[in-house]
């Protein structure tokens, strides 16, 4: 059974890596500019173990408790990314374990994480989540709001603001992601200019299974892939 799982994962991984390479070529970018975060939120522990064996070291979870539980039972060398909403009361357990939080979506959460990081005397890497498309169902800063609070965020010393994250609207039209991703990149440039180069915001986390190629064409440095990595695997494989 486990050989079957490994073969499927290997095929999926290889095909995603090929598509990443093609997108980078199309966009005139180097392949090592793009980090693949394997999103394991729907995966069984056994699949994740195989994935780690295949060399995946950057894993993403949407729920803080699941991230913490899995981090404790898997290789301590894994870099864990939190990609889903974080409630403030879940932050304390998460901080010592997480490599990067992609989903800082409010000033309140930002301030809370800043305080906790300071108390622990560590610098936590975060991304600011932006609701570019303005859908009411989505978390994230409104772009205009983010520009307004930026002077107050950019001076924080206990958080390393590594960049921005967004999600494109879910539609059948893959191309509808492009203006959203482009807007995120432009917003990053605006924020970087406004900070006078003190905060460079190098990372753009944008692109999932359906739209990562567009993400890469528009400048993504991190893509978050779940379903297409585990395609063909079911709980009863
Ligand atoms: C689930 C999830 C992903 C992965 O989505 P797929 O379509 O399964 O690749 C990426 N980002 C976030 C924030 C998610 O919640």
pLDDT in tens, the chain (237 residues): 689 999 999 999 999 999 999 999 999 999 999 999 999 999 999 999 999 999 999 999 999 999 999 999 999 999 999 999 999 999 999 999 999 999 999 999 999 999 999 999 999 999 999 999 999 989 999 999 999 999 999 999 999 999 999 999 988 898 999 999 999 999 999 999 999 989 999 999 999 999 999 999 999 999 999 999 999 997 554
The answer for residues whose C-beta is within 8 angstroms of residue 215's C-beta and 6 or more apart is: 177, 181, 204, 206, 207, 223
Ligand 1 atom index nearest CA of 209: 9
Q: Separation of 42 CA from ligand 1 center, angstroms?
A: 10
Spatial contact of 163 and 184, defined as CB atoms under 8 Å apart: no
Spatial contact of 128 and 169, defined as CB atoms under 8 Å apart: no
- From 37, 39, 127, 169, mutation site for ligand 1 pocket: most ligand atoms within 8 A of C-beta: 39
- How distant is the alpha carbon of residue 202 from its chain centre? 13
Q: What angle do the packed helices 143-153 and 177-194 form, to 10 degrees?
A: 30
The CATH number of 3-225 is 3.20.20.10
Q: Using alpha carbons, select from 151, 132, 142 the residue that is nearest to residue 191.
A: 151
DSSP 33: G
Residue 209 Cβ inside 6 Å of ligand 1? The answer reads yes
Residue 59 Cβ inside 6 Å of ligand 1? The answer reads no
- Alpha carbon nearest to ligand 1 atom 6, residue: 226
């Amino acid at each position: 059974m486990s050989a079957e799982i490994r073969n499927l994962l290997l095929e999926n991984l290889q095909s995603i890596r090929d598509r990443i390479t093609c997108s980078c070529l199309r966009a005139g970018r180097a392949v090592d500019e793009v980090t693949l975060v394997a999103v394991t939120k729907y995966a069984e522990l056994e699949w994740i173990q195989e994935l780690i064996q295949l060399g995946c070291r950057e894993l993403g979870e949407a729920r803080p408790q699941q991230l913490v539980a899995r981090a404790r039972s898997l290789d301590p060398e894994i870099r864990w990314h939190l990609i889903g909403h974080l409630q403030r009361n879940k932050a304390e357990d998460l901080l010592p374990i997480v490599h990067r939080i992609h989903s800082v979506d409010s000033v309140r959460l930002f301030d809370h994480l800043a305080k906790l990081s300071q108390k622990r005397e560590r610098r936590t890497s975060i991304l600011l989540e932006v609701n570019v498309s303005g859908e009411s169902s989505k978390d994230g800063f409104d772009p205009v709001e983010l520009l307004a609070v930026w002077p107050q965020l950019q001076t924080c010393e206990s958080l390393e603001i590594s960049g921005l994250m967004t999600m494109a609207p879910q539609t059948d039209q893959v191309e509808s992601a492009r203006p959203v991703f482009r807007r995120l990149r432009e917003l990053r440039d605006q924020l970087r200019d406004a900070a006078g180069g003190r905060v460079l915001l190098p990372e753009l986390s944008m692109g999932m299974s359906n739209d990562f190629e567009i993400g890469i064409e528009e400048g993504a440095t991190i893509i978050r892939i779940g379903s297409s990595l585990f395609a063909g695997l079911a709980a009863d494989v």
